[in-house]
Amino acid sequence: MPELPDVVVYVESLDRRIAGQRLDHVRLISPFVLRTVVPALAAAEGRRVDTVRRLGKRIVICLEAELFLVLHLMIAGRLRWLERGQKLPARITLASFEFATGTVAFTEAGTKKRASLHVVQGEAALAAFDMGGLDVAGTGLAAFRERLLRENHTLKRALTDPRLFSGIGNAYSDEILHRARLSPLALTQKLSPEEIARLHGAAREVLAEWTVRLRAETGEDFPAGVTAFRPEMAVHGKFRQPCPVCGAPVQRIVYAENETNYCARCQTGGAILADRALSRLLKSTWPRSIDELG
């Protein structure tokens, strides 16, 4: 799922191309992507784009007279910019937004259709999509601490909870926790003040660094190849590959359709965290420490 750095670059790239432009035509190809009935999608046609902005992991195209198109890419949704005359990507296009300068194609790969488009009228209606998470980049340590300790969760769950923090998902939470040298299963209310400060700094650094990196990679082009798995990442998607800090093999915890990646040596004092499925299967042979894997 595209997270804060990718969504920021999407928003900036869209804003450069369509802010001030009129939305000439909206084409709905997959009716399941549209999750609202009133206002009608056709009401967006002919309106000027005031700006494009981020709301958590959502992308909001703000049209004149406070009409908003709210796009949530979910896991497999992506946006493409097509020059005039270019054909829409076959089979994967959900909807398209046509401007005089080009077309925004809203696509989704795979069979599970989770991406969504909402059309809402007025700032109050748009505010309903705001989960309330703090933007770490603009949050001081005191506010970060208060939000982190509001509920007692594992760090992985807390960082990815949109009610607590904005725009952080599976990938960047792994990178943040690795940078902070903290276990993904550590409980928020058991952290020391020094650990909270370390987590706050790591979150700000990782999100800022990746936003700068992706912005530089994209340049004046439109974002392409948006993925949660990047070769420059330290641990996310790097199961069994060496940790860039200590060289130990990166470990993982698999659950549902997600996985958590971490370095046992850097983050858990050498302990290998139990994976529910594998540790139940292996039972007594499940390795307890990184040294047992050697």
User: What's the CATH number where 211 sits?
Assistant: 1.10.8.50
Mean pLDDT of 122-143: 96
- Quick one: 74 and 208 in the same domain? no
Beta bridge partners of 78: 107
How far is C-alpha 218 from the chain's CA centre?
Answer: 17
- Quick one: 113 and 229 in the same domain? no
Beta bridge partners of 261: 252
Q: Which of 127, 152, 167 is the last residue of a domain?
A: 127
Q: 3-class DSSP state for residue 88?
A: coil
Instruction: Identify whether the C-beta of residue 84 lies closer than 8 Å to the C-beta of residue 34.
Output: no
Q: Which of 77, 104, 127 is the last residue of a domain?
A: 127
- Quick one: 96 and 184 in the same domain? no
Report the pLDDT value the prediction gives residue 281, as an integer from 0 to 100: 40
Percentage of the chain modeled with pLDDT above 70: 93
The whole-angstrom separation of Cα 204 and Cα 241 is 25
Lowest-confidence pick of 145-154, 199-208, 224-233, 274-283: 274-283
Question: In this predicted model, what pLDDT tens digit does every residue of 211-265 receive, in sequence order?
Answer: 999 999 999 999 999 999 999 999 999 999 999 999 999 999 987 678 899 999 9
The whole-angstrom separation of Cα 129 and Cα 38 is 16
- Quick one: 151 and 289 in the same domain? yes
Residue type, position 83, single letter: E
DSSP assignment of 39-78 equals: S-GGGGTTPBEEEEEEETTEEEEEETTTEEEEEE-TTTEE
Report the pLDDT value the prediction gives residue 291, as an integer from 0 to 100: 54
Instruction: Identify whether the C-beta of residue 119 lies closer than 8 Å to the C-beta of residue 46.
Output: no
Q: 3-class DSSP state for residue 142?
A: helix
Measured torsion, CA atoms of residues 125, 44, 22, 76, in degrees rounded to the nearest 10: 80
Q: Is the pLDDT of residue 293 over 70?
A: no
Report the pLDDT value the prediction gives residue 286, as an integer from 0 to 100: 42
- Quick one: 287 and 229 in the same domain? yes
- Quick one: 58 and 164 in the same domain? no
Report the pLDDT value the prediction gives residue 279, as an integer from 0 to 100: 43
- Quick one: 118 and 152 in the same domain? no
Confidence band for 276, pLDDT divided at 50, 70 and 90: low
- Quick one: 154 and 280 in the same domain? yes
- Quick one: 108 and 178 in the same domain? no
| E strand map for 56-212 | 58-63, 67-72, 77-82, 93-99, 102-108, 116-121
- Quick one: 155 and 92 in the same domain? no
| Structural domain count, the chain | 2
Lowest-confidence pick of 62-76, 90-104, 175-189, 263-277: 263-277
Q: Which of 127, 162, 177 is the last residue of a domain?
A: 127
Question: In this predicted model, what pLDDT tens digit does every residue of 65-79 receive, in sequence order?
Answer: 999 999 999 999 999
Q: Which domain does 28 fall in, by range?
A: 4-127
Beta bridge partners of 26: 97
Q: Which residue has the tokens 């191309």?
A: 17
The pair of three-digit structure tokens given for residue 18, joined into one six-digit string: 């369509």
Report the pLDDT value the prediction gives residue 110, as an integer from 0 to 100: 83
Q: Is the pLDDT of residue 178 over 90?
A: yes
Confidence band for 1, pLDDT divided at 50, 70 and 90: confident
Mean pLDDT of 258-281: 80
Which class for 167: exposed (0-12), middle (13-18), buried (19 or more C-beta within 10 A)? buried
User: What's the CATH number where 69 sits?
Assistant: 3.20.190.10
Mean pLDDT of 105-124: 94
- Quick one: 98 and 183 in the same domain? no
- Quick one: 15 and 107 in the same domain? yes
Instruction: Say if pTM beats, i.e. exceeds, 0.85.
Output: yes
